[in-house]
Amino acid sequence: MGTSDIVGELIVLQGIDLEILKVNEELECLKQELSTLALEVEELTAKEVQLRDQTGEAEQRVQRFQRSVNAGRETLKRLEMRVTAVANMQQHFAVKSETDTARRNLRAAEDEQLSAMQDAETARLGLMEVVGDLAQAKEVLASRGTEVGNQRSELEGQLEAHITSREEQEGQIEMNTLRLYRSVSAKRSDSALAAIVEGPVDGVCGRCYTTVPKQRRADIRSGRSLALCEGCGVILHAEMTDA
Ligand SMILES: [Zn+2]
């Protein structure tokens, strides 16, 4: 097999490698998308629980202050009755002082109750919103889940086909060449191959423009050997006019 044939086979293999990479990336994207959607449902569920607790707690406070308010009103009623039955100024002032205190206590209980009612209302409104958001998020997860499932099995089918053709293509290539290609491509995210191009004086690597010594260039052109660029480490090949 001549060098240009070897390079041709490597280019085909690289094409398949890129397809596999692309499909794997798409699969990873789908996985990410689903886990983001699932996380949203999880977070909203936790928020719902929290807001239910808050609502319940605020409602209990409303009840508790309602009892204080009722008790305060009873006390005031009792004091009003006592006012009508005072025998002297001293008793009158005593009742008046107790009444003032009872009024202050009642007002404080009413304020507390109002604030608890507002808390309960805020929590209820938040809860309603979260319940709505949660239902929507669950719906999105369910419908996207089905779509993603379909896309995933399609991609997995493609992946399997690519892996089969990769095995076939690797079977076309000599073991040492394959090892060289694998070790070069493992170190880079772009192409493992670059053509030698004409530089101002001499041939240079088409990737990093490092000069390729004359003798090496001749070897590569003659198809005697595969060579790595001294600058960037890619597998160099002669310009392929028929590619
Ligand atoms: Zn280079």
Distance 8 CA to ligand 1 centre (A): 19
Å from CA of 195 to ligand 1 middle: 9
Number of Cβ atoms within 10 Å of the Cβ of 142 = 11
Beta-bridge partner residues of 196 = 205
- Ligand 1 center from residue 200 Cα (angstroms): 16
Write down the pLDDT at residue 233: 94
Neighbours of 136 (CB within 10 A): 13
Query: Which pLDDT belongs to residue 240?
Result: 62
Q: How far away, in angstroms, is 187 Cα from ligand 1 center? A: 13
pTM of the prediction? Answer: 0.73
Q: What is the DSSP string of 182-209?
A: HHHHHT-SS-SEEEEEE-SSSEEETTT-
pLDDT in tens, the chain (243 residues): 566 688 889 999 999 999 999 999 999 999 999 999 999 999 999 999 999 999 999 999 999 999 999 999 999 999 999 988 888 999 999 999 999 999 999 999 999 999 999 999 999 999 999 999 999 999 999 999 999 999 999 999 999 999 999 999 999 999 999 999 999 999 988 899 999 998 777 789 999 999 998 888 888 887 777 889 999 999 998 876 543
CATH topology of domain 16-173: Helix Hairpins (1.10.287)
Integer Cα distance of 10 and 8 in angstroms: 5
Residue type, 95: V
Q: Are the CB atoms for 170 and 42 separated by under 8 Å?
A: no
235 CA distance to ligand 1 centroid (A)? 8
- DSSP string for residues in 81-99: HHHHT--SHHHHHHHHHHH
In whole angstroms, give the CA distance from residue 38 to residue 46: 12
Alpha carbons 188 and 95: distance in angstroms, whole number: 92
| DSSP per-residue letters across 146-174 | HHHHHHHHHHHHHHHHHHHHHHHHHHTS-
CA–CA dist 59, 52 (Å, integer)? 10
- How far is Cα 169 from Cα 13, in angstroms, rounded to an integer? 6
Answer for the pair 99, 75: CB distance below 8 angstroms, yes or no: no
Please tell me the distance between residue 182's alpha carbon and the centre of ligand 1 in angstroms: 17
- Give residue 180 CA to ligand 1 midpoint distance, Å: 16
How many Å lie between the centroid of ligand 1 and the Cα of residue 87? 113
Q: Where are the domains of the chain?
A: 16-173, 178-237
Please provide the DSSP assignment of 97-134 as one string. Answer: HHHHHHHHHHHHHHHHHHHHHHHHHHHHHHHHHHHHHH
* Confidence (pLDDT) at 241: 53
Length of the chain: 243
Closest CA to 106 of 135, 78, 145, 143: 78
Amino acid residing at 241: T
pLDDT reported for residue 243 = 39
Residue 25's φ and ψ, nearest 5 degrees, are -65, -40
At 225 the pLDDT is 75
Residue 158 CB contacts under 8 Å (≥ 6 apart), including other chains? 19, 23
The reported pLDDT for the residue numbered 1 is 54
Q: 228 alpha carbon to ligand 1 midpoint, in Å?
A: 8
